[in-house]
């Protein structure tokens, strides 16, 4: 049995990860300050003797006896990470440093949940891990984009200087049950609007693309990455290479929800990427042939059913 710390463990991805790690026989310590995380996401684990909940902000140092650390602590949607941009970048940098310091002290593996946002508004398509990105360092999204880029730098510098084992993945758009209805992400926004009978908002003309990955596929990629033993640190893209326009997503949400809502168009936000699609060749080679298995239609249906229970 491993002792595994999940920072940001009460969030959308973190809570699912806690459940998967528990199911595989581990002792899981969930750390969260509940800025965007929710205790509701953890209710199914609270009676489990192998689950601990620690309320703590990763910006402050912490010391826990652990074998592995999954660092997921950071608001990950524009609404939340722009709410307090300085706090976001502090979480990215100080939180990662504190986690890495713990990993060094405890000789633990350190897993960094990075993001496709490190590519910015990419000039290369699809995005390979070797692409350095096209990021605005002074824009309204910079606190997150540059914060995550700096976190990757910290991981590799700690690895080179201390020998600590690090694993870095870059997560592309992920969706599923337990997303927050007010997180400002395109999937949750559209589902909530459809279920409430409101107009579905499409920014720009809807031709911009995203690659949508269901939560179960992401979890499988995360666990396979942590299990790699050949000194592979990454970064590695974990996402779905099936590319959809935002307009196609809106139309599918309307179909699957049975909503009679209309689609309306608004101005594109500043620094919003035009295209986003991962090249997952490296993941296939290094992570035992990993690739997404859940089609968008199937994943959206499950996500819509979740939102019906909370709207």
DSSP assignment of 76-99, as one string? -SHHHHTTTHHHHHHIIIIIHHHH
Query: Does residue 36 contact residue 183 with C-beta atoms inside 8 Å?
Result: yes
**Model pLDDT, residue 268:** 81
Query: Does residue 226 contact residue 232 with C-beta atoms inside 8 Å?
Result: no
CA atoms within 13 A on the CB side of 133: 17
Which candidate, 68, 50, 71, 47, places its Cα nearest to that of 59?
71
pLDDT digits (tens), the chain, 311 positions: 999 999 999 999 999 999 999 999 999 999 999 999 999 999 999 999 999 999 999 999 999 999 999 999 999 888 889 999 999 999 999 999 999 999 999 999 999 999 999 999 899 999 999 999 999 999 999 999 999 999 999 999 999 999 999 999 999 999 999 999 988 899 999 999 999 999 999 999 999 989 999 999 999 999 999 999 889 999 999 999 999 999 999 999 999 999 999 999 998 877 677 788 999 999 999 999 999 999 999 999 999 999 999 98
pTM, entire model: 0.95
The residues near 35 (Cβ < 8 Å, ≥ 6 apart) are 75, 80
User: At 26, which CATH number?
Assistant: 3.40.50.720
Number of helical H runs and strand E runs in the chain: 10, 13
Which candidate, 123, 176, 148, places its Cα nearest to that of 12?
176
Instruction: Look at the chain and report how many structural domains it folds into.
Output: 1
The residues near 175 (Cβ < 8 Å, ≥ 6 apart) are 185, 187, 188, 212, 213, 214, 215, 299, 300, 303
**Model pLDDT, residue 276:** 85
Question: Strands 27-32 and 263-266, how do they pair?
Answer: unpaired
Instruction: Determine, yes or no, domain membership for 76.
Output: yes
- Full residue range of the structural domain in which residue 61 is found: 3-176+213-239+278-293
φ/ψ (deg, to 5) at 58:
-65, -10
**Does the active-site annotation cover 131?**
no
d(CA 111, CA 276): 23
Instruction: Determine, yes or no, domain membership for 203.
Output: no
Query: Does residue 284 contact residue 238 with C-beta atoms inside 8 Å?
Result: no
Question: Strands 209-211 and 243-245, how do they pair?
Answer: antiparallel
Which candidate, 66, 68, 52, 65, places its Cα nearest to that of 9?
52
**Of how many residues is the chain composed?**
311
The one catalytic residue among 144, 158, 175, 214: 144
Instruction: Determine, yes or no, domain membership for 192.
Output: no
Query: Does residue 5 contact residue 29 with C-beta atoms inside 8 Å?
Result: yes
Instruction: Determine, yes or no, domain membership for 268.
Output: no
Instruction: Determine, yes or no, domain membership for 95.
Output: yes
d(CA 49, CA 46): 8
What value, to the nearest 5°, has the Cα angle with vertex 278 and ends 252 and 93? 110
Under DSSP, is residue 111 helix (H, G, I), strand (E, B) or coil?
A: strand
Instruction: Determine, yes or no, domain membership for 103.
Output: yes
Instruction: Determine, yes or no, domain membership for 298.
Output: no
d(CA 245, CA 69): 35
Instruction: Determine, yes or no, domain membership for 257.
Output: no
**Model pLDDT, residue 271:** 62
């Amino acid at each position: 049995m491993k002792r595994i710390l999940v920072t940001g463990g009460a969030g959308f991805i973190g809570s699912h990860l806690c459940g998967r790690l528990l199911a595989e026989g581990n002792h899981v310590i969930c750390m969260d300050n509940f800025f965007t995380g929710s205790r509701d996401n953890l209710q199914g684990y609270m009676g489990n003797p192998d689950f601990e909940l620690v309320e703590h902000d990763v910006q402050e140092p912490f010391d826990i006896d652990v074998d592995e650390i999954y660092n997921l602590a950071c608001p990950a949607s524009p609404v939340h990470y722009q709410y307090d941009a300085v706090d976001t970048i502090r979480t990215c940098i100080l939180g990662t440093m504190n986690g890495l310091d713990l990993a060094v002290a405890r000789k633990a593996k350190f897993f960094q949940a990075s993001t496709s946002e490190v590519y910015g508004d990419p000039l290369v398509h699809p995005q390979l891990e070797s692409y350095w990105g096209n990021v605005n360092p002074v824009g309204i999204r910079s606190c997150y984009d540059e914060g995550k880029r700096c976190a990757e730098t910290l991981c590799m510098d700690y690895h080179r200087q201390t020998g600590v084992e690090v694993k870095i993945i870059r997560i592309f758009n992920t969706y599923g049950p337990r997303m927050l209805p007010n997180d400002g992400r395109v999937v949750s926004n559209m589902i909530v609007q459809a279920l409430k009978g409101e107009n579905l908002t499409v920014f720009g003309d809807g031709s911009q693309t995203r690659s949508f990955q269901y939560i179960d596929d992401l979890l499988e990629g995360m666990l396979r990455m942590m299990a790699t033993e050949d000194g592979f640190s990454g970064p590695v893209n974990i996402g779905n290479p099936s590319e959809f326009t935002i307009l196609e997503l809106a139309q599918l949400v309307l179909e699957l929800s049975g909503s009679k809502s209309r689609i309306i168009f608004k101005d594109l936000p500043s620094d919003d990427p035009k295209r986003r699609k991962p090249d997952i060749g490296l993941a296939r080679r290094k992570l035992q042939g990993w690739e997404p298995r859940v089609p968008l239609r199937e994943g959206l249906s499950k996500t819509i059913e979740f939102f019906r229970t909370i709207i």
